[in-house]
Amino acid sequence: MKYLGIDYGSKRIGLAVSDGNGFIAFPRETLENNSRVIEELVHVIEAERIQSIVVGDTRTLSGAANAVTSEAETFVATLRSQILIPVESVFEAWSSVEAARYQDGGEKRDDAAAAIILQRYLDMKGNAVE
């Protein structure tokens, strides 16, 4: 099964895709979060033949909402209503911090954070390569 991982942000949305067997996540791209983002996601889903979507839940470690949580939950609800494949929210705390460890300075890589979110999900599902 092929997965799409999403790191939601109010300005940018990071995307990652898995290999065809759902073992390994790869950063794909970062989209601007604007009025065309759902249309652009549909294009990625079709081009990559995605079968399931994993969106990072923006809540804090304690489970409390933060400044972007409501917006992210609306985004997930929109995805679920407009895209006919499963959409699952998963814990994402520290994914951006972890992604930053692998960067050579410069600007935040939202696609790398999405890959970390997706890889954690795949590993929890037991899809690890042995």
pLDDT in tens, 92-129: 654 555 555 555 555 568 899 899 999 999 998 875 55
Q: Which residues of 82-94 are buried (b: 16+ CB within 10 A; e: fewer)?
A: ebeeebebeebee
Mean pLDDT of 52-77: 86
| CA 71 to the chain's CA centroid | 15
Q: Note the pTM of the prediction, 2 decimals.
A: 0.85
Model confidence over 24-57: pLDDT tens digits? Answer: 999 999 999 999 999 999 999 999 999 999 999 8
C-alpha angle 61-98-53 in degrees, rounded to nearest 5: 75
What is the CATH number that goes with domain 3-22+34-106? 3.30.420.140
Number of H helices, E strands in the chain: 4, 5
